[in-house]
Amino acid sequence: MQALFVTTEDIKAFTLTNGNLDPDKFIQFVKVAQDIHIQNYLGTKLFDKINDDIVANTLIAPYSTLLTTYIKPMVIHWSMVEFLPYAAYTLANKGVFKHGSENSTTVDKNEVDFLIEKERSVAQNYTRRFIDFICNNSTLFPEYNANTNSDVYPSKESDSSGWLI
């Protein structure tokens, strides 16, 4: 079983989402963010340790502090990076629909791209904080350096986009 490291209330409280936003519209992007971004920075063993402790309701310090202070902000903002490109769309039985309203104006792609990049910048900032903390305190979290074989080894770079030359 995979736990979500944040609640829908966390997403609503710490992002630009409206409090009335249906969690079913964005919850899958939390899982995507965890699978793609968070596991990339935690590595498989630490990711699994935190996940398993959340599921078993046995998460204790220092892991609970790591989750609350460093991982949750990463998940929140990486989730928004993944959600924003799809926010205006719904896939239903009769096709793909783009939502509109009489009282609002839809934004153009450049504005959505701007929001995505702002969220990416915030996510990368929290990721850099996590990397600095975990590298300076890795003895508290032995799972961070315990990955083997086909495990995901933790990235120590907060910007996983772009070209590396």
Cα–Cα dist 23/6, whole Å: 12
Amino acid 101: pLDDT: 66
pLDDT tens-digit series, residues 94-140? 788 777 666 667 788 899 999 999 999 999 999 999 999 999 999 99
pTM of the model: 0.90
The whole-number pLDDT of residue 29 equals: 97
Strands 95-98 and 89-92: antiparallel
| Contact predicate 71/79, CB 8 Å | no
Residues of the chain with pLDDT under 50: 162-165
How far apart are the C-alpha atoms of 130 and 120, rounded to whole Å? 15
Position 19 scores a pLDDT of: 82
Residues 11 and 80: their CA atoms lie apart, in Å, by 8
Give residue 31's pLDDT.
97
Cα three-residue angle 130-21-77, rounded to 5 degrees: 15
Q: What is the C-alpha separation between 72 and 69, in angstroms, rounded?
A: 7
What CA–CA distances, in Å, run from 70 to 23, 63, 94, 133? 23, 10, 42, 8
pLDDT of residue 18: 81
Contact present, 122 and 78 (Cβ < 8 Å): no
- Can you give the pLDDT at residue 90? 78
Contact 75, 5 (CB under 8 A): yes
Q: How many residues does the chain have?
A: 165
